[in-house]
Chain A
Amino acid sequence: MSLAEPVLEVRDLRTSIGQDQAIVHAVDGVTLSISAGETLGLVGESGSGKSMTAMSIMRLLPPRGSITGGSVRLNGREITTLSERDMRRVRGEEVAVIFQDPLTSLNPAMTVGDQIVEAILLHKRMGRSQALQRAEEVLNLVRVPRPSERLGSYPHQLSGGLRQRVMIAIALSCSPRLLIADEPTTALDVTIQAQILDLIDDLRRRLNMAVLLITHDLGVVAGRADRVCVMYAGRLVEEATVDDLFSNTHHPYTEALLAAIPRPADNKSTPLYAIAGQPPDLTRTFDACVFADRCRYAQDDCRKLEPALTAGPHRYACFHPVGSAAEPSRAIASGARA
């Protein structure tokens, strides 16, 4: 833990969607924090609750979605209880978000310049020409070539990589302290992905921003995150520094995720480790480990009690962490492929 107060502090966050019999507990007791200048990776598969965690922080939940418990503190201020009006000020000025597909988040009928200006004037008192100047500055900041010409372009005239740069420019136009990047490169080609990830990393350093990098790709967080949180079924199941998570994995789900990715030495004559079954139904409540049904290390206690996150810098929610019991730690890598 750093001494400085974290930019974002989420405690025991609970978010549900739906009503009556069909309440999905999309986020169930998530605790995490990010300091200025730090990148926290948030990793999980579809439905794990990683995007809902982000949307809860932004207070941009879908209809019938609501935060049912816990706290979200941004720059020391509780935001779960803010009025919608105050929250609008927080978005953009203190926290901004970029999404996977910039084409659906950009207005197709407005020029790039107008969209950035609109974002600026929503928050800052300045004239239009001053805002336009600021728009050109932020396009320059995100390294859009020939920014003054681009101000007059429409989104469809730009490549996917440039559109994502414009989204980042809009996000940064009011200098937020926290940037949430939700699968920012999933829709992009790999060489462009590398450029955008480099850009986000460079901006974090130059602007001393806190970054929450949400992705399904463990490879994306490997080089860009300081710490990584792994989510499964609405819960945080493991958190560690990036090196610790990859080299000293504790949670069986994290281990299984890593084992499911083909390595350079693998070929189709050695089957990949596949996690059996499907993720659980989140309309249920659990009094057992949520991963127990799919876990190769599960024992009786895992099906009777839900493990809490351990304390300390490397946190994990498991009674029988990888490498602790009779099972050798690389059992999955060798055993399952035999």
Chain B
Amino acid sequence: MIGAGTQAETLLEVRDLVKTFAITRGSIFRRRVGRIQAVAGVSMDVYRGETLGLVGESGCGKTTLGRLMVALERPDSGSISFMGDDLFKLSRRALREKRRHLQLMFQDPYASLDPRMKVADIVTEPLVVQHIGDRRERSLRAASLLEEVGLSRRVGDRYPHEFSGGQRQRIGLARALALNPTIVVADEPVSALDVSVRAQVLNLIGRLQQAHGLTYVVISHDLSVVRYLSDRIAVMYLGKLVELGPSRTVFEQAGHPYTAELLKAVPVPIPQVERAKVGRAVLGEVPSAADPPSGCRFRTRCPHAQAICAEVEPPLRRLRTGQLAACHFPLQPAA
């Protein structure tokens, strides 16, 4: 486990990252009617060998940040360095070489696999893109990858529709591992799966990290899953990083009021705990990302908000408990 203060090798350095999307109206004459800051100035590091959990509700920018981390999107400003190289200043050729080390595991196993491709071809497509190996080598690689994720090496000749959700997610994992990546960004790796199947895939994700010394960024709205997998947690709200720290600290001594509300809202299978929460849900909805509140973006729903929260955007500050939180009135004392 990598906590604050330990010397760990930084693999990814995310600095002041901003990514905006245009909102368009109309299907034929598309006009721009506004801009959404999906990622609004995020800085964080990812350390070698750790699992960083990225959490937040829909529209918080976690998926966009994940796609930026594997260079599938280009930021408007800011930088991401991978082992010292600024990904967005590299030549196309050099970037493609770096991409081998940065793999994305997609959200929905049904939608992300090409239904007309055989499983072996899906798994080894990244090798084709990177011009690695010949046909025979690739087919051997497919067989060993499939075995590694707990499928039979013979399933390579079959098509995605012949597999269950859990098996498809295993295929997605095999594909993500095909290039021996350094970092795997897993976007909602188990949310489409039933509880019993989910446990199998979570166990596999943990085992593969051990076996390959992988670094994971796990993106999920499911906090019990993130807590289970992660060494550190980053919490996002409307494009901003609001809290970052060791998993256990963030879960047990949340510093940001949003983290606390988010954690409280997750249903746990313990009747006494859940009954105590009835009638105490956090009020309001997430404001539009096209028109975020001034100052602290959570202030419109925050039970602790005061005048300054509307005027000054709180910077990320270290708390005595060790994590960083962007709040004028953090729930834990500032360091």
Contacts and interface: CB of A to CB of B under 8 A. Distances in A.
B110 to A, nearest CB: 12
Nearest to A187: B58
A3 B87 CA distance: 70
Contacts of B111: none
A189 B271 contact: no
Contacts of B269: 218-219, 222, 246, 258, 261
Given A223-B277, A256-B196, A257-B195, A268 B268 contact: no
A267 interface: yes
B28 interface: no
Given A198-B278, A198-B279, A262-B225, A274 B271 contact: no
Interface stretch (B66-74, B114-122, B258-266): B258-266
B281 interface: yes
A246 B202 CA distance: 23
B196 A257 contact: yes
A128 B270 CA distance: 47
Contacts of A130: none
Nearest to A160: B58
Contact of A224 (B209, B265, B274): B274
A278 interface: yes
B196 A189 contact: no
B282 A191 contact: yes
Interface in B210-226: 221, 223-225
Given A161-B285, A201-B278, A268-B229, A274 B265 contact: no
A260 interface: yes
A223 B196 contact: no
Q: Per DSSP, are chain B's interface residues mostly helix, strand or loop, or mixed?
A: helix
Nearest to A261: B269
B273 interface: yes
Contact of B265 (A193, A256, A264): A193
A216 B202 contact: no
Given A191-B57, A217-B267, A274-B200, A223 B278 contact: yes
B203 interface: yes
Contact of B270 (A191, A197, A222): A222
A310 interface: no
B261 to A, nearest CB: 6
A272 B197 CA distance: 11
Contact of A274 (B199, B228, B283): B199
Contacts of A46: 194
B221 A189 contact: yes
Interface string B145-180: 000000000000000000010000000000000000
Nearest to A46: B194
A327 to B, nearest CB: 19
B273 A268 contact: no
B274 A222 contact: yes
B57 A189 contact: yes
B48 interface: no
B2 interface: no
A202 interface: yes
A271 interface: yes
Contacts of A246: 269-271
A194 B196 contact: no
Interface string B265-308: 11111110111111111110110000000000000000000000
Contacts of A193: 265, 267
A271 B273 contact: no
Interface in A203-228: 216-220, 222-224
A329 B251 CA distance: 29
Interface of B: 51, 57-58, 164, 194-200, 202-203, 205-206, 209, 221, 223-225, 227-229, 247, 251, 261-262, 264-271, 273-283, 285-286
Interface of A: 45-46, 159, 161-162, 189-195, 197-198, 201-202, 216-220, 222-224, 242-243, 246, 256-258, 260-264, 266-269, 271-275, 278
